[in-house]
Amino acid sequence: MKENNSNNIKFIFKENFKEFVFGFQDGLISTYVLLVGIAILVILNPVLLIITLLAEIASGAVSMTVGAYISIRTENELKNKFEDIDMDINFKIKKYLKVEDFSNDELENFKQFFNTHPKIWEKIENQNNQLISKRDPLDIAILMGISFILGGIIPLVPYLIPLPTWSFLIATIASFTGLFMLGILRNKISKSKKHWIKPALEMILIGILAVIIIEIYIYFISLTYGWISFS
């Protein structure tokens, strides 16, 4: 019984792992990028920095939670509509094999094959039923919200420690370490044939690109603001 429950938990986690990755990396990167953008501006007021980051984490988590709930509800509604379609065998063969231009003779050959090999057809139908199985929108919404908060907390924690000189450096190291570990976990869960270092470095690269983009954005905003003030 315990083994079955453990297997069910592992299956649920793997099925929804992409939501965890999305929420965690979004929370971590968006919070760290905001930190990079405002750290210099509020360097003498760490309390304001902490309040700003907490507000960003809270608003982001709520947004992700609501967005995930609506998205999964919509996904389930589309699956309900698909289930209501009364499909004949020809339509099923085209859909399951993902080929639309079968000739009538080819469809007849497939039907004869599946009639003589019913277990193969049963496996194909079961696989298709798994693909259109509905997910609980509330569970996914909670997972997205929690994973966003977990990711967002990483850049924040160093500022809760009274080390003002080192806080930004520690937050940077912690953030990119978090992205690195997420890449390793992603590789392990997906059982990818890639070496574990590739997805880990990919996550690091995404973080670096996000920082570069926000720095360029801030630079042009500062130029625009300076030009307006000068005018």
Question: What pLDDT is stored for residue 53 in this prediction?
Answer: 93
Contact present, 204 and 182 (Cβ < 8 Å) = no
Classify residue 103: in a domain, yes or no: no
Q: What is the DSSP letter of 157?
A: G
Parent domain of 168: 2-84+137-230
- pLDDT the model gives residue 231: 47
At residue 135, the pLDDT reads: 77
Q: Indicate the pTM of the whole model.
A: 0.71
Q: For the chain, how many structural domains are there in total?
A: 1
Residue 6 lies in a domain: yes
Q: How much is the pLDDT for 94?
A: 56
Q: Are 133 and 8 in contact (CB under 8 A)?
A: no
Residue 24 pLDDT: 94
Cα gap 192→194, rounded to integer Å: 5
Does residue 222 sit within a domain?
Answer: yes
Where the chain has pLDDT below 50, the residues are 1-2, 4-5, 7-12, 84-86, 228-231
Report if residue 175 sits inside a domain: yes
pLDDT of residue 170: 92
33 within a domain of the structure (yes/no): yes
pLDDT tens digits along 4-58: 445 444 444 566 888 899 999 999 999 999 998 887 777 777 888 899 999 999 9
Q: Are 170 and 82 in contact (CB under 8 A)?
A: no
* Residue 96 included in any domain: no
Beta carbons of 29 and 19 less than 8 angstroms apart? no
